[in-house]
Amino acid sequence: MRVVVLEDESAVADAVAAHFASLIRRKPDAVLGLATGGTPVGAYQRLIELHRRHGLSFRQISSFNLDEYLGLDEDHPQSYRRFMNEQLFDPIDIDKNRTRVPPGRPDDIRTACQRYEDEIVAAGGIDLQLLGIGRDGHIAFNEPGSSLASRTRCTTLAATTILDNARFFGSEDLVPRAALTMGIGTILDARQILLMATGSGKAEAIAGSIEGPVSSRVPGSALQLHPDVVVYLDAAAAHRLEYLEYYLESERTHRSLGLLPFP
């Protein structure tokens, strides 16, 4: 696991966007796994700028989003499909027919979840999966207690997640109580994973995910089982890491040896 600690939220967004852009230039038909929420917005804004000012093309890109609230139509102001359209897809040249978000109103939940898994496989698997992390250590909507081998499924949102997401809905009462989400096992199938986190509110979850035991109590800790994970943090999110100085020295050493493929 490569742990990259940067000065602030802006630097994290820059690094994540540069990482994605590097892959897209090397593999124009890459399959991307995308995340929603406040954390990735800055990175998406940088990708839009790279498209507009430097010709970064998404025309052949395919994408799969991590999750969607159950019960929301695609055009609901808080649906993740609408979020992705507004925050990334509309301003770039991606073919929306090649973008996938779990359905908010599936005719049959089990069938829809299996179909999502099948579509990922049919696309050749996800090349690069972007993740944020919740205060309780959840990744996607895999809440504490989720199986580390779980696949795309319907899941119940934890009270912490509902509280954190209430700011988007205006009230806790309006936050859906369930969602369709990629499972932890589905996420771990990606060829490479990027985890980004900013702010002191994520520091405990980050410490548990990177340095704690692998446990369903902290779903993000499952990332320790993947052979190619890059974690981009600002100083506030990193401040509870016991081995912080080691991660900083490791970055310096690998950079001096020319072993880092990305900025």
- State the catalytic residues: 67, 136, 138, 143
**Are the CB atoms for 50 and 21 separated by under 8 Å?**
yes
- C-alpha dihedral (14, 19, 20, 22), degrees to nearest 10: 120
**Are the CB atoms for 128 and 191 separated by under 8 Å?**
yes
**Are the CB atoms for 57 and 94 separated by under 8 Å?**
no
**Are the CB atoms for 219 and 184 separated by under 8 Å?**
yes
Neighbours of 104 (CB within 10 A): 21
- Rounded CA-CA distance 82/168 in Å is 13
**Are the CB atoms for 102 and 112 separated by under 8 Å?**
yes
